[in-house]
């Protein structure tokens, strides 16, 4: 790692109507060294996306004082930033699903397989194979449609695209939110190799344990300004979260409030359930007010299990009962009618309508119960959403604001608000805090606990073991589609013990 900065941000200001997204003034900037893995952390809305958008050429700042290798750096577009050696793997999907992997890898970079004005698709496929082989993506084919890949493979294809062009600066934005535990370790290996070659890695993650495992230095952003830059060994997680949100979050993350006595009322009974190719012979009882955690690797069947409870997948074997009555929903509409709700892992695709106002999003799942003869009272949506905005602490401009304008944590609050308009018997949560910062995560945990205390039976499916261990009253582990073990209430298993039953 070089002692001389490769990238310096001395001054950067970006304003939007009603807000200042980034306000870094001279004397309070940040420097990044070649060959380092430098974390950028902060709450949703701290200015991280705007800052990296500026570096990537997709955000035009109002004031700028940035240098790359001592030369003024002011890209006007993403292609210009890439030509200067800046590559970004973003949190949101960066592939066109209807194009092939090869077409995605060289989209906008057709000159790599062009000669004398002619395109040579065979050369593109050969170059794509090289890019995939470099990351050992042997199960991904150049002519495969990008949309046919699972999310983890899509993200590694994006990484392969970025690395193929030998960047000087690689920005990795929340990539691990889409990865399995094995995928995370695979990513870390690649990033360490790139840093050893002198590439500057700017790493953004809400998972602070990743930051400490991977990164050399940490820069904290808050309200668009640089709070501090420190070596990762000089702070711990609690100190870092305090710098990010202005308070300690450790106690509030999994704080055990007074819980009601364990209910004997079985709300959901799953008996010998199976879906071909996903899971088989799964049985459990979920009681009123209980949070039952489901742990497992990507592909273990946990996602399909949650979808089956919500009626989005149908069982091939076994049965379910809801409140002692046979329950076999053919679609989510029937599940919702029986009081079953679902918070999906991919909130932007399946959880909210990004360009529909918050007020309309919030009532989407309860229109039948809010309407009389097909009509709703004027202003009803706005009043209900305003109450939920206040209750959940959604940071927005009001009920007419669009989820598209909100941070990840606030979008997730909108998804949960949608299921709070009416009472539910069962709430299925799939990675409910994926991609949200530590402060928002603590608030969402408070909401989840309050829902369970109100009597909702919660099925919690999560890739975050700390989340599962901290929130669940009981925990089951899935391995290759079967329940490998159950950890009863108050058993306090370690992460290592849970993992041993997942792999």
Q: What is the pLDDT of residues 4-19, one digit of tens each?
A: 799 999 999 998 876 7
Average pLDDT over residues 433-438: 76
Between 346 and 269, the more confident residue is 269
Residue 132 backbone dihedrals phi, psi, to 5 degrees:
-70, -40
- As a whole-number percent, the residues of the chain with pLDDT over 70 amount to 93
The ranges assigned to domains in the chain are: 5-250, 251-339+424-503, 353-422
pLDDT exceeds cutoff 50 at 309: yes
Q: What is the pLDDT of residues 389-403, one digit of tens each?
A: 888 888 888 888 998
pLDDT exceeds cutoff 50 at 135: yes
pLDDT exceeds cutoff 60 at 248: no
Average predicted confidence (pLDDT) for the chain? 88
Q: What is the reported pLDDT for 212?
A: 94
Q: How far apart are CA 54 and CA 485, in angstroms?
A: 48
- CATH superfamily for 251-339+424-503 is P-loop containing nucleotide triphosphate hydrolases (3.40.50.300)
CATH code for residues 5-250: 3.40.50.300
> Tokens for 44?
């949703």
Torsion of CA 496, 498, 502, 503, to 10 degrees: 20
Q: What is the reported pLDDT for 261?
A: 56
Strand partners, 291: 458
Determine how β-strand 30-33 pairs with β-strand 5-16. Answer: antiparallel
pLDDT exceeds cutoff 80 at 445: yes
Cα–Cα distance list, 377 to 95, 260, 365, 371, 373 (Å): 42, 37, 17, 8, 11
Q: What is the reported pLDDT for 278?
A: 93
SS3 310: coil
> Tokens for 437?
């910062």
Contact present, 266 and 425 (Cβ < 8 Å): no
Q: How far apart are CA 414 and CA 436, in angstroms?
A: 13
Q: How far apart are CA 68 and CA 54, in angstroms?
A: 13
Q: What is the reported pLDDT for 250?
A: 54
Q: What is the reported pLDDT for 98?
A: 94
Residue 9 backbone dihedrals phi, psi, to 5 degrees:
-115, 100
Lowest mean pLDDT among 23-32, 226-235, 260-269: 260-269
Do 5-250 and 251-339+424-503 show the same overall fold?
A: yes
Q: What is the pLDDT of residues 88-130, one digit of tens each?
A: 998 777 899 999 999 999 888 887 887 777 778 888 899 999 9
pTM score over 0.85:
no
Longest dimension (CA), the chain: 77
């Amino acid at each position: 790692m070089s002692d001389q900065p490769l990238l310096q941000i001395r001054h950067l200001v970006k304003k939007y109507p009603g807000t200042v997204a980034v306000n870094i003034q001279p004397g309070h900037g940040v420097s990044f060294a070649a060959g380092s893995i430098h974390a950028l952390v902060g709450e949703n809305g701290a200015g991280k996306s705007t800052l990296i958008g500026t570096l990537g050429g997709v955000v035009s700042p109002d004031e700028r004082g940035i240098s790359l290798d001592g030369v003024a750096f002011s890209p006007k577009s993403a292609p210009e930033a890439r030509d200067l050696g800046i590559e970004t793997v973003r949190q949101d999907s960066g592939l066109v699903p209807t194009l092939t992997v090869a077409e995605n890898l060289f989209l906008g970079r057709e000159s790599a397989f062009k000669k004398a004005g002619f395109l040579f698709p065979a050369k593109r496929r050969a170059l794509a194979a090289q890019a995939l082989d470099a990351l050992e993506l042997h199960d991904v084919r150049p002519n495969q449609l990008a949309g046919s890949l699972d999310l983890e493979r899509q993200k590694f294809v994006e990484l392969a695209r970025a690395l193929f062009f030998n960047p000087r600066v690689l920005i990795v934005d929340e990539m691990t939110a889409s990865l399995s535990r094995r995928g995370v370790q695979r990513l870390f290996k690649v990033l360490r190799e790139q840093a050893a070659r002198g590439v500057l890695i700017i790493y953004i993650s809400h998972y602070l344990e990743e930051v400490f495992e991977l990164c050399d230095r940490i820069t904290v952003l808050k309200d668009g300004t640089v709070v501090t830059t420190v070596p990762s060994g000089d702070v711990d997680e609690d100190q870092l979260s305090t710098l990010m949100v202005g308070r300690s979050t450790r106690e509030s993350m999994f704080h055990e409030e007074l819980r009601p006595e364990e209910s004997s009322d079985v709300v959901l009974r799953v008996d010998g359930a199976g879906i071909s190719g996903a899971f088989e012979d799964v049985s459990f009882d979920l009681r009123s007010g209980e949070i039952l955690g489901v742990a497992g690797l990507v592909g273990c069947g946990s996602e399909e299990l949650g979808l089956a409870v919500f009626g989005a997948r149908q069982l091939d074997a076994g049965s379910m009962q809801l409140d002692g009555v046979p329950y076999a929903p053919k679609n989510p509409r029937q599940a919702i009618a029986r009081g079953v709700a679902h918070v999906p892992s991919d909130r932007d695709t399946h959880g909210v309508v990004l360009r529909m106002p918050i007020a309309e999003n919030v009532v989407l799942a309860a229109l039948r119960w809010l309407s009389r003869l097909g009509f709703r009272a004027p202003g009803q949506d706005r009043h209900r959403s305003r109450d939920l905005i206040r209750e959940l602490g959604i940071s927005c401009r009001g009920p007419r604001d669009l989820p598209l304008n909100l941070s990840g944590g606030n979008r997730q609050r909108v998804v949960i608000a949608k299921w709070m308009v009416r009472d539910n018997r069962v709430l299925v949560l799939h990675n409910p805090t994926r991609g949200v910062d530590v402060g928002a995560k603590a608030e969402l945990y408070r909401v989840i606990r309050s829902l369970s205390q109100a009597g909702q039976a919660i099925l919690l499916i999560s890739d975050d073991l700390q989340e599962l261990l901290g929130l669940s009253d009981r925990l089951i582990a899935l391995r290759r589609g079967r329940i490998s073990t159950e950890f009863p209430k108050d058993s306090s298993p370690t992460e290592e013990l849970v993992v041993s039953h997942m792999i």
